[in-house]
Structure 1
Amino acid sequence: MYTFSSKLKTFSFALMIVGLLGVAYGFLSTPNSVEDVKVMLQESHDSHGEVATSHDNVNHGESHETAHSDDTHAEHAFHYLKNKPWSALYVALFFFFMISLATLAFYAIQHASQAGWPVVLFRVMEGITAYLPVGAVLLFVFFVLSSLHMNHLFTWMDADVVAHDELIQNKSGYLNVPFFLLRAAIYIIGWVVYRQYARKLTLAQDKANDNSNYTKLFKSSAAFLVFFLVSESMMSWDWIMSLDPHWFSTLFGWYVFASMIVSAVTTIALISIYLKGKGYLEFVNNSHLHDLAKFMFGFSIFWTYLWFSQFMLIWYANIPEEVTYFASRFSEYKIPFLGMLVLNFAFPLLVLMNSDFKRVNWFIVCTGIIILIGHYVDIFVMIMPATVGDQWFFGISEISSVLLVLGLFIYVVFTALTKAPLLAKGNPFIKESEHFHY
């Protein structure tokens, strides 16, 4: 049995405390009025040497237009800055939730395909999916707070915006608060029910004299994957794409899934290596880690294919309603938007192509951390342009949100690992997995 070390537990609590303090500071430090924003913008201009110009040679009409433009800009900046701590928290909540959800999908795929090699890793996957109910509740609470206008991330939830926007009005049959929350509840219930049911069956299989529990899990996993493919796509539309209600992409569900699955496999590899380094998982060998690294490599290529497909088709067609999504990211988020290509494609491609490197633990860890950072940036670029516009930067809110949710993630996952033996002994393919080698 695994024992949650006091050092790691203390570390997780420290992350949560520091993160919580930073998140609180982020909310408290937002401007209180448009006038505060005007002062901030003026100070920013002055610090760059952009001193206000004399109005001696400017006529009254031009002065009035300039003042009106400044007021509009300040008002937009005020709303963006108020959204910023909420957006940073949302990115972190979604990022760690998607790791848990995609791990559940990967776990279901192994059962539905009756794969033998990953059986010794099943308990690690179950530990990661233990965060799913916790993360789901946090996200649902976030959506409820959004619907109560505690933030303005989802513009279609604002009746005043909808009243003056014909396009959103045409989507109101789908984009309305009750239906949005109902769909979220259905997704979450479906995912959590399968997770709990699968966990129950695998634990029961350890003590069973036949394979009846395994057979039930095989059938339920196949059914779950059908539900997952539909619900994951709709979740992507609801929880991320609707932040830009004027824009849509038929590839978006797959694109989000690609980011999810590579992050999940990377997390499985990192936790497995950590446990093995602490003297656990002695039955996990270099061939298992090599396979995980191959999935990290393969899914990184898959993510890049979808990124390029979505970007190239929209850029080439040059339809205004579609191009606006990438125009804002190119003009205001160019460094993270293009930088994540290096982190999520170029780096994994260059370092994981060599088969020998896939068997070196410290190499997988270093590569995995960079991949996870890259996909956090990916989610950041999906969410921030619609919610904070040009008022973005990686500051206390962003870092603290990650620390807070990371601490919670570590605590929940490693606590779950202590609840059952780290080897699923009752699985009929256990011997094949223990002796897996090539």
Structure 2
Amino acid sequence: MGTHNHTHNFSERFYFTGKPKSWSLIAIVIGVLAIAYGFLTNHAERTFANLLLMGYYFTCVCAAGLFFCAVQYMAQAGWSAGLLRIPQAFAKVLPIAALILIIICASGLFTHNLYHHWHSEEAAHDPVIIGKSSFLNVPFFLTRLVVFLGAYCIFGYFLTKYSNNEDLEGGMKNYNKSFALSAAFLVVFGFTTPIWAFDTIMSLEAHWFSTMFGWYNFAAMWVSGLSAITITVILLKRSGHLTWINDNHLHDLGKFMFAFSIFWTYVWFSQFLLIYYANMPEETVYFYKRWEPEYKPWFWLNIIINFVSPVLILMTRDAKRKEGMLLFVAILLLCGHWLDYYMMIMPGTVASERTFGIVEIGTAIGFVGLFSFLMLNALSKKSLVPVNHPFLDESLHHHI
């Protein structure tokens, strides 16, 4: 790699100290207090719903980081080599996120605060639920969750391990291993991600089903992951790191966010349209719930934030190359997809307490702090650039 631009310090490390660490810990404490408040004030159902929302969101963002790495390896992409350490840090946090999600789902099942549409005495006499009981039962549900998330974690472990070995050994051996592993992961991820979404979110309303729901969730996951990567890149650059990342890299991240926000909208609208023109009562009830007075404003705001805003703001080339603009849109999209998951989960989970307050805001802040703490801690363990990545030189000279 003799053509590398040596004006950059490729042994540069991020040290997780000072304000980022303090603010992350403060956010975690706020989250713990909000969750405790929810349980101590007899809002268990609402608190569990928020825990599921943020546990699922946390895991999705980490899984999106792993997916980002795998896609780059499979595409043999060069532009992203200089920022791969960031999604790799997401992948390193995935086992903890997965464990938290499994605990939340299992606790919600056994306390009957989650999945009570198919896991209750009343459901045992419901002919629709009885017809789905071979799939929707506690042992099989938890087994699927553990197997799918466990498989993702194993892939993430080896993909980051090969990248670390590449730093030490050089050559193409570890890159070729990463390429083969990424191909296997994408097949597994492609077939299991929809089922993971069906289990974790769609089964909250077990009478309803949509074959597009898995891809709708994947689109939300992917946009959220891209937004989180973009925010991390920009904030690291502003703190003096990642000097080799330029406007062209930001432009590519902006294009991804722009394009997949449109894809998310396409899947969202297609799911709605199919149910509408087929006029199926057992499916229209899903949208009827979300048009009740408590949720209807959020229903429309969801579309405005996640589709209208990124399309209008990121339409031009210049907008995708401005740090401030891109940072604003990325934060907006992360908030927007929190609202998206809120609309997926709350109407079918919280029967009476349709309020918005301390539990929702505090739980979200807590999980943001937890993700930031774990991700930045993982990022600090290695140099910020994969020094022996075969396409690093292309990334350093990336121009579009």
Taking structure 1 as the reference length, the TM-score comes to: 0.87
- Bigger mean CA deviation after superposition, 217-226 or 21-30: 21-30
Secondary structure of 1:157's counterpart equals coil
* Alignment pair present for 1:128 and 2:90: yes
Secondary structure of 2:292's counterpart equals helix
| Moved segments of 4+, more than 4 Å | none
2:326 paired residue number: 364
Secondary structure of 1:257's counterpart equals helix
Residue 347 of structure 1, aligned match among 290, 294, 309: 309
2:17 paired residue number: 5
Residue 102 of structure 1, aligned match among 53, 64, 68: 64
2:39 paired residue number: 27
- Alpha-carbon spacing, 1:209–1:24, altered in 2? closer, same or farther (3 Å): closer
Q: Please give the alpha-carbon distance, in whole angstroms, between the structure 2 residues aligned to 1:386 and 1:150.
A: 14
Question: Per-residue displacement from partner, 1:307-353 (whole Å, max 9, x unpaired)?
Answer: 11000110111111110100110124111111110000001010000
Q: Please give the alpha-carbon distance, in whole angstroms, between the structure 2 residues aligned to 1:399 and 1:150.
A: 24
Q: Please give the alpha-carbon distance, in whole angstroms, between the structure 1 residues aligned to 2:172 and 2:45.
A: 52
2:28 paired residue number: 16
- Alpha-carbon spacing, 1:154–1:199, altered in 2? closer, same or farther (3 Å): farther
1:298 paired residue number: 259
Residue 230 of structure 1, aligned match among 191, 199, 224: 191
Secondary structure of 1:248's counterpart equals coil
1:313 paired residue number: 274
**AA aligned opposite 2:123:** V
Deviation at 1:119, TM superposition (A): 0.5
**AA aligned opposite 1:235:** W
- Bigger mean CA deviation after superposition, 252-261 or 95-104: 95-104
* Alignment pair present for 1:387 and 2:399: no
- Alpha-carbon spacing, 1:154–1:114, altered in 2? closer, same or farther (3 Å): farther
Secondary structure of 2:118's counterpart equals helix
Deviation at 1:390, TM superposition (A): 5.3
Question: Per-residue displacement from partner, 1:231-283 (whole Å, max 9, x unpaired)?
Answer: 10100100000001000001011000000101111111100001111111111
2:227 paired residue number: 266
* Alignment pair present for 1:211 and 2:172: yes
Structure 1: 5+ residue runs without aligned partners?
Answer: 31-80
2:297 paired residue number: 335
Taking structure 2 as the reference length, the TM-score comes to: 0.95
2:380 paired residue number: 418
Whether contact under 8 Å (2:248, 2:398) holds in the other structure is yes
Whether contact under 8 Å (1:300, 1:345) holds in the other structure is yes
Whether contact under 8 Å (1:206, 1:424) holds in the other structure is yes
* Alignment pair present for 1:243 and 2:204: yes
Which has the higher Rg, Structure 1 or Structure 2? 1
- Alpha-carbon spacing, 1:256–1:347, altered in 2? closer, same or farther (3 Å): same
Q: Please give the alpha-carbon distance, in whole angstroms, between the structure 2 residues aligned to 1:16 and 1:430.
A: 36
Deviation at 1:436, TM superposition (A): 0.4
1:186 paired residue number: 147
Structure 2: 5+ residue runs without aligned partners?
Answer: 1-12
Q: Please give the alpha-carbon distance, in whole angstroms, between the structure 2 residues aligned to 1:146 and 1:374.
A: 25
Q: Please give the alpha-carbon distance, in whole angstroms, between the structure 2 residues aligned to 1:152 and 1:115.
A: 42
Q: Please give the alpha-carbon distance, in whole angstroms, between the structure 2 residues aligned to 1:100 and 1:327.
A: 32
Q: Please give the alpha-carbon distance, in whole angstroms, between the structure 2 residues aligned to 1:326 and 1:389.
A: 16
Q: Please give the alpha-carbon distance, in whole angstroms, between the structure 2 residues aligned to 1:377 and 1:384.
A: 10
Q: Please give the alpha-carbon distance, in whole angstroms, between the structure 1 residues aligned to 2:198 and 2:184.
A: 22
Deviation at 1:170, TM superposition (A): 0.7
Deviation at 1:94, TM superposition (A): 1.1
- Bigger mean CA deviation after superposition, 332-341 or 347-356: 332-341
**AA aligned opposite 1:347:** S
- Bigger mean CA deviation after superposition, 86-95 or 192-201: 86-95
Deviation at 1:131, TM superposition (A): 2.1
**AA aligned opposite 2:363:** S
Deviation at 1:354, TM superposition (A): 1.0
Secondary structure of 1:407's counterpart equals helix
Secondary structure of 1:156's counterpart equals coil
Whether contact under 8 Å (1:89, 1:398) holds in the other structure is no
2:364 paired residue number: 402
**AA aligned opposite 1:166:** P
Give identity over the alignment, percent: 40
Q: Please give the alpha-carbon distance, in whole angstroms, between the structure 1 residues aligned to 2:171 and 2:75.
A: 20
Deviation at 1:373, TM superposition (A): 0.8
Whether contact under 8 Å (1:154, 1:242) holds in the other structure is no
Q: Please give the alpha-carbon distance, in whole angstroms, between the structure 1 residues aligned to 2:92 and 2:67.
A: 13
Secondary structure of 1:106's counterpart equals helix
- Bigger mean CA deviation after superposition, 327-336 or 182-191: 327-336
1:155-194 equivalences under 5 Å are: 155-158=117-120, 160-194=121-155
Aligned residues: 387
Q: Please give the alpha-carbon distance, in whole angstroms, between the structure 1 residues aligned to 2:181 and 2:107.
A: 34
Q: Please give the alpha-carbon distance, in whole angstroms, between the structure 2 residues aligned to 1:200 and 1:165.
A: 49
* RMSD, aligned CA: 1.1
Deviation at 1:150, TM superposition (A): 5.3
